[in-house]
Every structure is written in structure tokens, then in C-alpha cells.
Chains A and B, each alone.
Chain A
Amino acid sequence: MSQTVLTVDDSRTMREMLRAALDTAGFRVIQAEDGVDGLDRLEEEMPDVIITDINMPRLDGFGFIESVRGDERYRGVPILVLTTESEPAKKMRARDAGATGWIVKPFDPERLVDAVRRVSAAG
């Protein structure tokens, strides 16, 4: 069965890019627009991997990760954060919040898929 990836990003462009890359690799993709939306999605879906942006309205990536980790049901789900090279501090904060790994933007689709496989049972 194909694995499901939840992508959380307020940028439509980024969501579409993630979808394109993951679709091609055979993942099923569900999308959310910010942290609050992401938590809503989790009420109805059980993704195998979550990819989230950091800067988002309503609930940012840090808050989102903390909420997910604080929930019995989801704290074992790998979470990859989208970050840029210029934000090493953010990477650390995301890790402290409980992120499993990170993806550096702009990302190469193959490396993205690699990272998802690396943290999931889809390898």
C-alpha cells in the first residue's frame, strides 16, 4: 500500500512542488495550509510522514510539531521540516520541538523523496 505524506505549507507553490515530487514517487499526498489546518487533517488521516514549513500563519511549524509530538496518536510519526540554509537556528529549534529531520529549500525532488524514505518504512 502506498504511503501517505501530509504536507503543511502556507505557500501554494511549495505545496504543489511537494505534491509533484511525492506523487511521482508513488506517495499519496494530503495537504494543509498551516499548523491549525494540519492538526485538523490529522483528525481524519494517519499519515506515514509529515512535511511541514516553519513560517506559517495561525500556527507555525514549531507549534505544529510540538502539538503533534504531544499527541499520543502521532508522536511516532516522522516529521521533516522545510528549512533554508540561512536558518541554522531554526533547524535547531525545529529539532528541539521534535522534528525528525529537515529538507533544505529549494529542494531537489529526488533528494526530497530520499529523505522521506529515509525516515519512513517506505525505504
Chain B
Amino acid sequence: MDPMESIKATFFLECEELLGDLEAGLMALENGEGDDETVNAIFRAVHSVKGGAGAFGLDDLVRFAHVFETALDRMRSGQIAAAGDAVKLMLRAADVLADLVQTARDGGPGVEQQRSMAIAAELEALSEGRDPAPANADGELAIDTVPDDAGIDGLDFTPQTVSLDLPADLEAAAPAPVGWRIRFRPNTDLYAKANDAAFLLRELEGLGECQVTPDLSGLPAFDDLDPEVSHLAWEIELSGECSEAAIREVFEFAEGDCELEIAQLDHHAGSAALPPGPDPAGPEISLSDANAELMAELPGPVAAPVASDKPAKPQAQPASATAPAQATIRVELDRVDRLIDLVGELVINQAMLAQRASESDLGRSNGVSMALDDLEQLTREIQDSCMAIRAQPVKSVFQRMPRLLREIAAMTGKQVRLVTEGEGTEVDKTVIERLTEPLTHMVRNAVDHGLETPGERKGAGKPEEGTVRLSAVHRSGRIVIEVADDGRGINRERVRQKAVDRGLIDASAALSDEEVDNLIFHPGFSTADQVSDISGRGVGMDVVKRSIQALGGRISISSRPGEGSVFTLSLPLTLAVLDGMVVTCAGETLVAPLTAIVETLKPRPEDLEKFGPQGRLLKVRDTYVPLIDVGVRLGWRTSGTDPAQCVVLLVETESGGRAALLVDAIQGQRQVVIKSLEANYQRVDGVAAATILGDGRVALILDIDAVISSRRAPPPTGQASLAKAS
């Protein structure tokens, strides 16, 4: 790749981080949590975006970033309060900036000019401390008033040094000068800033032939010489057709730290326009001689950066030895996935090996067995480490939500505050990627359906600003994400009515609150009377549920009228491996995810109860849980076996419901590599995936939730109408 292209790619990557920091910082300010450093960090983010954009000639971006930066600079210096409306405006500006970055990266139609200009105008008004221009300010304002020194036109490296001494037209009018006389006397400051008179003379030499006369009159006796003080001056006669600007450019960095006089040499035999200086005490010497003499006679006015009394560090080490260790490296995802695939194979292979070993009766204390134990441990560690490579914090998804929320709030006229927790919680990259859409939809729903209008909230005695809380946490090998709002809660009457109207349930059906709440996950169900722009789009919670399930996750809802609703997502941390319990059922080998299993037990005949025509309950300590024969459920046998001869897996679903799964026998616990069935067999009800066991056989992995839920939902009458519908 062209190096510039690759740097540009880096720039856009960096922009994403900067925009994330920008938004996070502004949010902190909005919540009153920021301090001076927050404002500084925000400023730096915008400044860096502008800097990079300038380097790539992304002018639209530079212009907007400049206006933004100016306002932030004001905020930084305390002229604008870092709170309230100013911060809100900057949040909107941050959105525009993000859009401009995206446009610059992906091309496309671009940001609506109107919008970016209106925001720019508001920012400028803010910077200048006047009332914002009306929102429909026709935009010209914003762009025209960007100062010319925005740095976008100045692609030139150095500011054009304008000569203050010469009339502007002199250079043009006068014939090309034959030369210049330059008188140069550095101050001590020149050296303190690590400028070097010798280098400046060397630069001059690059402009034309130089006759350099050192003025040694200020040079004290050697004993009195202070190496830190400047003692010398030079007079240089420069011949050649260079401009005064070029000469001044040489002395650009020395400006203010030296006395500098530049005068044109007379056309006739070098009578300089300069008044005669002090008599040169030394003979005229050529520049190179002057240099040599300087070097030989004088210690650098500033102790040169060499041989201090400290032992010199070896400087010539190879770069690799001294280069700072990089904290991160970028690796193509393909490589990581290939590695994970291979580790998966390794796990299977290790399992097979362990099985062979146990079959050959080596005994636990046998050296081979012990080495195999170590191998198992090691394999697991390798596997965990590999998975960790793919793990990413959910921050990247959560970060998208504030903007979304602002937009919905603006569209609905509701006031919303977003609270996020556990952004650092890590989960597999694939899960992250596929989480954005369902989460977006849920957050949208929370505001659109969950929260009331400010008026309604006030009437209900709540603060006018609603709160949406987004949290993530690791719980028993899964990641649990909650979207909670403090709105009106689910209107069960209306949900029920809607479900009856749509023929999903019978009008007489007796449903628990939980069952009513879960109706919203039914295909095609929408609680809004009118499909709105925001939550509508033909996507319902059923789609959310399906996409979560496709990730091996579960979704549940709990709601309290008047207090709000909580949607809970539970997802596996990785889609590649699973801790499972290997069981036998109807002659088949199955794997049950360990995370769902609470305990295993041998059922006693006296704990079994009949329930309805086919149902059975099992008494576990003091509670009854439904007993499900997995063999029957999966259609492998028609009649249930004698529970007393079997084993029960007591499992718990994400919503907290329990069930007892009846299987024939338990083989043991094992980590299994998940092999998807969907590519070849599509989705199979009750089966989550498959795996290869140590003996080389394929075993199905149970989808516990599906096994249980097909028993309990939908309510009886609903079943009939669903059957009709399909």
C-alpha cells in the first residue's frame, strides 16, 4: 500500500478513537463529572482530527473542526461554561464531526450542508459570546467567517515572511540585487534555544557565495570567557540573486534572539547601504574557515550535548534493542480465527488422546496419564488465551448509544439521560458485532415505548428527564446485558388486547403477568398503536429475540407498571467453545451446557407428581419443577422411561425458571468445541449446535431454553392459533 494511503487508514482508525473520547468527555461534562482535564482531552481530540484532516486535504472536515476547536478553546480558557446548553451544542457538533469523518472516509453524499453549517454558526456564536444565530441561518455565515489562518490554505511549510523593512513593491521594481550585506549578532538566547550561529551561516551559504567577517571585538580573554554567553558577531556579504525573504527565512528561527540587519549591496562595487559597523577586528575569512575556526577555538556557547560527566550511554545500539515495546499490535482477524480453529482441533485431539489413554487402563499414577493431565491443563489455557485475543469490551457497542438516544429524544420530544455501566466487560468480537443491531432496537424501544413524555412524567410525580440504563456484567460464564428504563412499564391490558385482536391468544386465556409481557416477543407484535418512524420499520421484538438466540443468547423482560421495564440479554462469551455435561439419552450422546445446569440428581419415585394429561412434576426439596424427558422432547422415543432409572439435570433458564431434564445417564463434564449445524442443517429446534467427542463421535449440544420453552410457551390457546397461522 502507498505509505500515505496506509497513514490515511491509520488516521481514520484514530479518528474513531478520538470521536469516542470526544463523546465520552462531553457526556461526562453533561453529567457534571468532568474537570479541566476532561475539557483539555476534548479539545485535543478535535485538534487531532483537524491536524490529520489538514494533512490529507480534507477541507470540509478541517473547516468544521476548526470552528469546533475554537469554541472548545474558549471553553478551555473558561470563557464558556463547560456545562448546560454549550455542552449540548457540542454533543451535536460531535455528531456532525463524526458524520464528516465518515463522509471523508467512505465518500458518499456527505453531510447535509445545512446541518453542519447551522451547527458551525451556533458554535461561532458561542465562541463570540453572542446569541446563536437563528437555526435556519443560511449557512454562508459559518464558512465565511472561518479565519483565514485556519491552516488550511497554509499548506506551505513556513509562513511567508513578509519584509517589514522594504516597501512591498521594492523587490518587484528593483533589478535583481547583486548581493546583500548582512549583519548578524546573536543574543545568548539564541544558544539557549539550541540554535547555532554556525548552522545559520551554513544555511546562508546555501543561498549564494558568502564572505564572512567575524567580529571578535566582544571576545574576552580566554580566562574570562563564559561559554554560555554570546561574544561574536558576523558580517556577511552574500552575492547572488536571492530575495530578502529568503535570507529572512534562514534567520526565521533566530528572530528576536539576535540583532539582524540586512541591506542590499550597491550595484557598484559593494558599497553597502548599511552604515559601517564596528571595525571588524579580524581579517576576512571564508565561511568554511570561519566555521573551522569557530569549532576549533570555542566551546559551543551551550555545553554541547556530548560527553557530560555522566557516563555516556551507548548510542549505537540497534533500533530493536532500544525501541519502546509496543503495547498493541494489529493482527488480521483471519489469522486469529485460523489459530482458534486449530486450537479447537487441538482440544478435540487432546480429548481423544485422553479417552484412548483411559481405555488402555494405564492407571492414574502412570507417567503417561499424568503427562496427559498436564496436557489437558495446558490445552485449556491455550484455548482461553486464544479466546481472549478475540475478546473486546462492549464499549464499542455502548458508545453508539448516546448519539442514538439524543436523536430519538429529539424526534420524540422526550428528555432522556443515558447511564452506562460495565463498558469494559469483554466478549467475543463476533458477539459484539452482532449485538449492535438488537441493542440499538432495544434502546430505541425503551425511549419510544418505555419512557413517557416530560408532561406525563411530571404528572406521575417523576423527574421530567427519563433514564435509560445500559449495563453489562459477566455472570457465570456469560455476559448479561440489561437495558432498563424508568418509564411507564408494559401496559399489560393493551398488550393483552392487542394479542387478542391479532388472534395470538384467546380472549378468555388466563395469563400470568410474565406471560403477557412475553407476548411482545411474538412475531409481528408491536405495542405502538401506530408504527412510528423510530421503533417501527417493520422490526419487532421478535426479530430482536431471534437475533439474540442466533448468538446462543436469551432475552427476557421484567416490567413494573409505572416504574419501568428491564430487558435482560444473556449471551455466551464465545461462540467457539462450551463447557458441557455429556449425557446419554435414548442411545444418543448429548451435551448440555454446563452454565445452565444447577445440579444433577437421582429422582426418587415419591418425588414425582402427575400434572395434567402428560405433564409430570418433580419435587426438588420444597418446590415442584416440570419434568421433561429429553428423549421424548427430541422425538427419539414416544413414551417416557421410568424416571427412577434415569438421571435428572436441574437446569435454570435466564428468566430464572427451573426445569428438570430427564436423561438416561451422565458420562462426564467436558469442554467441547462448538460446530455449527446451521450452515448444513439450518436451525434445528431444541439443538444449539454439535461437537466432536473424544471418541470421534458427533454429539448434539442441547438448546436448554428451547427444550424448556417449547413446553411452557405459548399459552394453550395461543398454540392453536399459531398452528392455524402456520
Contact = CB atoms under 8 A, between A and B. Distances in A.
A41 B324 contact: yes
Given A106-B54, A119-B194, A119-B199, A10 B157 contact: no
B636 interface: no
A35 interface: no
Contact of B305 (A17, A76, A115): A76
Nearest to B206: A123
Nearest to A28: B319
A12 B10 contact: yes
Contact of A107 (B6, B13, B157): B157
Contacts of A13: 7, 10-11, 14, 48, 51-52, 55
Contacts of B51: 11, 13-14, 84, 105-106
Contacts of B48: 10-11, 13-14, 55
B95 to A, nearest CB: 22
Interface in B29-61: 37, 40-41, 43-44, 47-48, 51-52, 54-55
Interface string A9-44: 011111011001000000010111000000001001
Given A13-B48, A13-B51, A86 B7 contact: no
Given A55-B47, A72-B303, A78 B157 contact: no
A98 B193 contact: yes
A28 B317 CA distance: 12
Interface centre among A13, A16, A72, A86 (most CB of B within 10 A): A13
A114 B313 contact: no
B106 to A, nearest CB: 18
Contacts of B14: 11-13
B158 A57 contact: no
B252 interface: yes
A103 B157 contact: yes
Nearest to A72: B308
Interface string A94-123: 010011111111111011101100111101
A34 to B, nearest CB: 10
Interface string B546-580: 00000000000000000000000000000000000
Contact of A76 (B199, B304, B315): B304
Contact of B193 (A41, A46, A99, A107): A99
B313 A44 contact: yes
Contact of A104 (B154, B194, B196, B303): B154
Contacts of A85: 149-151, 154, 159
Interface in B278-326: 300, 302-305, 308, 310, 313, 315-316, 319, 322-324
Contact of A57 (B11, B13, B41, B156): B41
B154 A20 contact: no
B3 interface: yes
Interface string A62-86: 0000000100111111110000111
A36 B406 CA distance: 37
B147 interface: yes
Contacts of A31: 324
Interface residues of B, number: 56
B157 A101 contact: no
Given A44-B313, A85-B149, A100-B193, A20 B4 contact: yes
Contacts of A106: 51, 54-55, 151, 155
Interface centre among B13, B37, B192, B199 (most CB of A within 10 A): B199
Contact of A20 (B3, B192, B193, B194): B3
A46 B305 contact: yes
B305 A73 contact: yes
B66 A10 contact: no
Given A16-B10, A55-B44, A76-B300, A123 B55 contact: no
A106 B703 CA distance: 58
A95 B319 contact: no
B316 A1 contact: yes
B195 A78 contact: yes
Contacts of A103: 157
B611 interface: no
Contacts of A41: 324
Contact of B256 (A20, A95, A114): A95
B203 interface: yes
Contact of B55 (A78, A98, A105, A118): A105
Contact of B157 (A12, A84, A104): A104
B305 A14 contact: no
Nearest to A111: B157
Contacts of A108: 155-157
B44 A100 contact: no
A95 B254 CA distance: 10
B313 to A, nearest CB: 7
B153 to A, nearest CB: 8
Contacts of A14: 48, 51-52, 55
B395 interface: no
Nearest to B254: A101
B575 to A, nearest CB: 31
B151 A74 contact: no
Contacts of B199: 118-121, 123
B616 interface: no
A51 B324 CA distance: 17
A11 B52 contact: yes
B44 A57 contact: yes
Nearest to B3: A20
A105 B196 CA distance: 24
B709 to A, nearest CB: 48
Interface in B138-155: 147, 149-151, 154-155
A86 B151 contact: yes
A57 B159 CA distance: 27
B194 A123 contact: no
A79 B195 CA distance: 9
A28 B156 CA distance: 25
A46 B315 CA distance: 7
A75 B315 CA distance: 18
Interface string B311-343: 001011001001110000000000000000000
A2 to B, nearest CB: 11
B52 A101 contact: no
Nearest to B315: A46
Contact of B44 (A32, A56, A118): A56
A123 B305 contact: no
Contacts of A107: 55, 157
18 contacts: A10-B48, A11-B48, A13-B11, A14-B48, A16-B7, A17-B55, A30-B323, A57-B44, A73-B305, A73-B308, A75-B194, A78-B194, A78-B196, A84-B51, A101-B252, A104-B154, A106-B54, A118-B203
Q: 4 shortest A-B CB distances, which residue pairs?
A: A111-B157, A101-B253, A106-B54, A13-B11
Given A55-B43, A102-B253, 15 more contacts: A11-B51, A12-B14, A16-B6, A30-B324, A45-B315, A56-B44, A57-B40, A78-B194, A78-B196, A84-B51, A98-B194, A104-B157, A119-B196, A121-B199, A123-B199
Interface of A: 1, 10-14, 16-17, 20, 28, 30-32, 41, 44-46, 55-57, 69, 72-79, 84-86, 95, 98-108, 110-112, 114-115, 118-121, 123
